[in-house]
Amino acid sequence: MKCMWCESEGAFRTQVDCPWIMPDGKSAVMIKAVPSIHCEHCGITYQEDEVTQKVEESLILKDLSEFPREFSYQQLLEAPEDRTVNLFGFL
C-alpha cells in the first residue's frame, strides 16, 4: 500500500507498541499492538487518523482506573465506558 509520507508503494500493515500521552498530558501509557502502517522506503511507522482518533476518544471516554500502564489496543477498545465522563457531554 501507499505510504502517506513518501508515497512509495512499500508500506504495509503491522502492529506496534506505542507510548501514548494521556489526554491530561501528565502521564503516559504503553499501548500494545496498535494497528499501524510501516514504510520500508522511509522507515516510518505511523497510525492512520482513524486509529489515532479511536485511541484518543477511548482514553477520554473509558474507565481506565483499573488498567495497568501497559495494555493492548484491543483491551482499550473493549474497556467499559466511564458513565461519569459521558454526563459532561463529551459525546
What is the spatial distance between Cα 35 and Cα 32, in angstroms, rounded to a whole number?
9
Rounded to the nearest angstrom, the gap between the alpha carbon of residue 64 and the centroid of all alpha carbons in its chain is: 14
User: Binding Zn ion by CB under 5 A: which of 29, 39, 55, 61?
Assistant: 39
- Near Zn ion by CB under 5 A: residue from 6, 16, 51, 60: 6
Helices vs. strands in the chain: H and E counts, helices first: 3, 4
Considering only residues 3, 59, 61, 76, which one is a binding residue for Zn ion as defined by CB under 5 A?
A: 3
Distance CA 87, CA 28 (A): 25
Q: Which is nearer to Zn ion, 12 or 90 (CB)?
A: 12
Please report, in angstroms and rounded to a whole number, the separation of the first and last CA atoms in the chain: 33
Q: Which of 16, 30, 33, 42 binds Zn ion (CB under 5 A)?
A: 42
Applying CB under 5 A, the span of 21-29, 42-50, 65-73, 81-89 interacting with Zn ion comes to: 42-50
Q: Confirm or reject binding of residue 37 to Zn ion (CB under 5 A).
A: no
